[in-house]
Amino acid sequence: MAIRNLRFEKDEILKKRSREVENIDEKIQILIDDMLETMYKFNGVGLSAVQVGILKRVIVIDIDDGTGPKILINPKIVKTKGEHEVEEGCLSFPNQYAKLLRPKEVTVEALDRHGKKITIKAKELLAQALCHEIDHLDGVVFVDKMIPGTLEHVETQEDIKNK
């Protein structure tokens, strides 16, 4: 396993639509393991393959609820219910947060890492994370959907030191 380089805000790849995974081979398994390691290293809740420079429809999510990581290949949102305002950040937009509207509940169909079809019915943070990561696969980043005027940059000690 290896830590992959994250792609950041100005990188054009984040605006591209990812391609379906045709074959879940060893390369995809390595990508999944590397994505998990990268997500955990940077304290993320989710990560899409495009955020590490790979235009494949693969996401990993772990909302730290004790159920372990969720690995989804070719995920599709098939149903949504309700809507609420949430605050989001993104590993590709360090220290930036904004408010946006997301569904309260989603149903997602995907393949697991072994190619088995799975359905996830999610609420709250998991629903939000699924929407966020699937948006990435379509070339949409959270600031594209933010409520105007809600973007905030939180300065870190590193930012202050570098001034």
Q: CA dihedral in degrees (20, 115, 46, 51; nearest 10)?
A: -30
The SS3 of residue 159 is helix
CA-wise closest residue to 101 among 44, 142, 59: 142
Distance CA 138, CA 15 (A): 8
Distance CA(160)–CA(121), nearest Å, equals 42
Residue 24 to residue 113: CA distance in whole angstroms:
7
Reply yes or no on whether 158 is catalytic: no
Q: Which of 133, 152, 155, 158 is catalytic?
A: 133
**Residues labelled catalytic:** 133
